[in-house]
Structure 1
Amino acid sequence: MNEELDDTCKAVFRQCYPKLLFYATRLVGTEEAEDVVQDVFVELWRRRDSVVIGEQILAFLYRSVYTKAINLLKHQVIENNYSAAMIEIYERKLQYYQPDHAEVIKKIENQELRQEIFGAINELPDKCKEVFKLSYLHDMKNKEIADTLGISLRTVEAHMYKALKFLRERLSHLLLSLIIFSAKLLSVFTS
């Protein structure tokens, strides 16, 4: 029984690995894709006794690669100290590459767009910029930001409002940016 399970896992690996590697390459690039896919298969191997390998295994593997890719990109973004706007761009890119939307491929990383977003963020007043980066780059809640900076929650909310308003106005001609910041604005005031 155990030998049959091992053979099944090996067959799934041989059949799915090239497809998943191609998919992961589109998400995270060539350098990281192999690690992402190998991590997914290592996890599958560890859980082989509890995972049912059937018709839905390919969908499960695609979703696992997608999740690992998101986690890797978020980690890279934080590690490389990118701005919060870049996190949103990567998340938007990943949404277009989801298995359910594979046919919808959007060109999202555009040097001019990136420079414009960075430029707009750098134009923020120092305190607004600091609050904005803590919220989006470090994914801190408003209360945590207030405690960290030693300012009131109301002041944090005012800085966030001012920063988001400025960025929306400054980037209003960019449809993608408008969508990103509008969505984030809603999430800021509902949390």
Structure 2
Amino acid sequence: MLIEKQILSDLKKSDRSAFQSLFRYYYPRLKAYAATMVDDSVAEDLVQDLFLYVWEHREDLIMGASFHSYLFQGIYSRCVDYFRKYASYDSCDMEVYEEYLTEQAAFLQNDDEAWEELYAKDFYQQLYELLKEIPQQRREVFFLAYLSGKKTKEIAEQLDMPVRTVESHLHLTLKFLKKHLSKKDFFLVLSALSAI
């Protein structure tokens, strides 16, 4: 679902209900996307910062379908800036992560219709078939994080396991999916699955 031009037009006129409609629609999607690059709490802050920026610069907004890409490019840039400034080099392979960020940036240049492909039945069937191949506990962690939108701490409490173990399960699942999905489909999983 792409945002109608009328909502953007109303937003430019400082209509708060239009802003709230945009926020409700895009917040979970942007947060899910940001959470693939930074911690959940940081993702929340960065998305809120982006929406504050959108409100403050509402009169200069881009109209039409490109608004979708505008938001995702905005949160992508904020995540990359945060990552480069604060991330621990001990916690991940910097070279692999930089390659991953570059691939995401390239995907954002594509047509907005690609985002809607996430809802296709065949995509879900492929995803679920792949998830059957991973251990049950890892699969459960993935579902809680990406379908239920739970934070790592909440999952750790619910499943009675250390937060680090939850993070490890998520990392290994994403690594597995990256290996078995096309780049576009893998990116779709990361950017929008938890917003469904």
TM-score normalised to structure 2 length: 0.43
TM-score normalised to structure 1 length: 0.43
- Which has the bigger relative contact order, CA under 8 A and spacing at least 6? 2
Larger Rg: 1
